[in-house]
Amino acid sequence: SQTIHQWPATLVQPVGSPLSLECTVEGTSNPNLYWYRQAAGRGLQLLFYSVGIGQISSEVPQNLSASRPQDRQFILSSKKLLLSDSGFYLCAWNSLRSNTGELFFGEGSRLTVL
C-alpha cells in the first residue's frame, strides 16, 4: 500500500532563518506531488506541484521554493523565513494514472516563525 510521510512535524524558527520540509511517498512510482499551506482562517492554498523529477510549478509568488530531487521526494525550502510563512504545511500525492484527482495527504508540518 502507498504511504506518505512528511517531517518535521513541528518547527519553530526565527525570522530570517532557512527552512527545509521534506516529504516522501512510498509504494507508488511517478506520483504527482503537491505542497499546500493552511494559514489560520484561510483554507488550503496550493503552493507547488510537480509531475516529475525536476519539474516544479508554482501557483503563487512567495518566499518559498520547492524541489524534487528524486521521484518520490518533495522538498519545501526557504532561504530566509518571514513571519507570514507561519502555518500548517501539507504534502499530498496523487497518481497520474487516476483521472479522479483524488489526493492523499501527509500528516502535516506546523511551522511557527518568531
Partner 1 sequence: AQSVTQLDSQVPVFEEAPVELRCNYSSSVSVYLFWYVQYPNQGLQLLLKYLSGSTLVESINGFEAEFNKSQTSFHLRKPSVHISDTAEYFCAVSEYGKLTFGQGTILTVHP
Residue with smaller CB distance to partner 1, 3 or 20 = 3
Q: Which of 14, 61, 83, 98 binds partner 1 (CB under 8 A)?
A: 98
Determine contact, residues 75/21, Cβ cutoff 8 Å: yes
- Backbone dihedral angles phi then psi of residue 83, each to the nearest 5 degrees: -55, -35
Q: Which of 75, 81, 106, 111 binds partner 1 (CB under 8 A)?
A: 106
CB of 83 to partner 1, least distance (A): 21
Q: Which of 40, 69, 83, 99 binds partner 1 (CB under 8 A)?
A: 99
**Distances from the Cα of 89 to the Cα of 13, 28, 36, 41, 98, angstroms:** 14, 22, 6, 14, 24
Residue found under cell 503563487: 60
Interface contacts to partner 1, rule CB under 8 A: 41-44, 88, 90, 92, 94, 98-108, 110
